Structure 1
Amino acid sequence: MATRSNPYGAFNFQVEFDGTPAGGDPITAGFSDVSGLGNEINFSDYREGSDPDNVVRKIPNTNKTDEVTLKRGLIGSTEVFAWFKDVRDGAYAPRRVTITVLDEARNKVLALYLRNAQPKKWVGPTLAAKGSGEVAMEELHLVHEGIEYVGL
């Protein structure tokens, strides 16, 4: 990936879900918002009694990933909810989720991969008859086992 002086816009991206190990079909879905892309390393404190410096060393150990939230306008497609329902009903159906950032010309510039992502929570739209300009939105919360950041 070539570097540039201006950062990429946060409004051009694609989300794709690979198929499941049990043979579930891939899902391509448009989302208006992706949040929670994060990873944190845990450290252990360690100090030997013979260390000449009176300071605790920080030793990296495990890491934890943040829950990712995807939001989209309700469009009538049931593929995402069907995946959630399968997991809710006891299926083990992890997927690799690819979030691809696009430049202004819609060329792929980098990808974020969520390894073994599974749906944790689905939130349906808030429906209210008082507003005419609101869009019915749904949310999908994902847990995953690792995130990779790859330049294209």
Structure 2
Amino acid sequence: MAVQRDDPYGPFNFRVTITPGTGAEIKAAFSDVSGMNAEITHADYRVGSDPVNHVRKIPLMNKAGDVTFKRGLVGSLDLFQWLKAAKDGTIAAKASIVIELLSEDRSATVATWQLTNARPQKWTGPTLAAKGATDVAMEELVVVCEDIVYA
């Protein structure tokens, strides 16, 4: 887990593990993970007899943002099988996704985020163009989740 230090960690060493309801881990490597956020909505409330002239903020619902994963197109079909299970409405499509930030030498996990009841929302295939021999075919997967927990 994280240790006390003055220098922030770099975002380039991380590991993603997707475990659908079937229990079989999806083997997928990603170059980018973005969109991790949590939001708590509040309501303004004031009792007429309050001695101060301002509202109280009462916490209501909380929600997790959609998380986007990007990777180079590979031959593994694990991710597509999970996407198909979600399209078919299978309860096994609900997954636990664990994102681990690793130290510079990859010897220790310094931060962990867990996405609960995650499901695919959108898949975007690569842009195919004959002009760039140095480009990589990239695909994008957006998932929704019910909660993001920092562990």
Q: TM-score, normalised by structure 1?
A: 0.94
- Aligned counterpart, 1:50: 49
Which residue identity does 2:54 align to in structure 1? V
> Where do 1:1-152 residues align within 5 Å?
1-20=2-21, 23-92=22-91, 93-106=93-106, 107-150=108-151
Q: Look up the SS of the partner of 1:18 in the other structure.
A: strand
Structure 2 Cα separation of the partners of residues 2 and 125 of structure 1: 39
Q: TM-score, normalised by structure 2?
A: 0.94
The alignment's C-alpha RMSD in Å is 1.0
Is there any run of 5+ residues in structure 2 with no aligned partner, and where?
A: none
Q: Look up the SS of the partner of 1:81 in the other structure.
A: helix
List per-residue Cα deviations over 1:76-131 (Å, max 9, x = no partner).
11111110111112212211100000011102111100011000001110101111
8 Å Cα contact 2:96/2:118 also seen in 1:
yes
8 Å Cα contact 2:73/2:139 also seen in 1:
yes
8 Å Cα contact 2:20/2:82 also seen in 1:
no
Structure 2 Cα separation of the partners of residues 45 and 94 of structure 1: 35
Structure 2 Cα separation of the partners of residues 66 and 101 of structure 1: 19
8 Å Cα contact 1:40/1:64 also seen in 2:
yes
Structure 1 Cα separation of the partners of residues 76 and 98 of structure 2: 19
8 Å Cα contact 1:81/1:122 also seen in 2:
no
Aligned residues: 148
Q: Look up the SS of the partner of 1:101 in the other structure.
A: strand
After superposing on structure 2, the runs of 4+ consecutive aligned residues of structure 1 that deviate more than 6 Å are none
List per-residue Cα deviations over 1:35-90 (Å, max 9, x = no partner).
00000100011000101111111011111111000000001111111101111122
CA apart distance, 1:19: 3.4
Is there any run of 5+ residues in structure 1 with no aligned partner, and where?
A: none
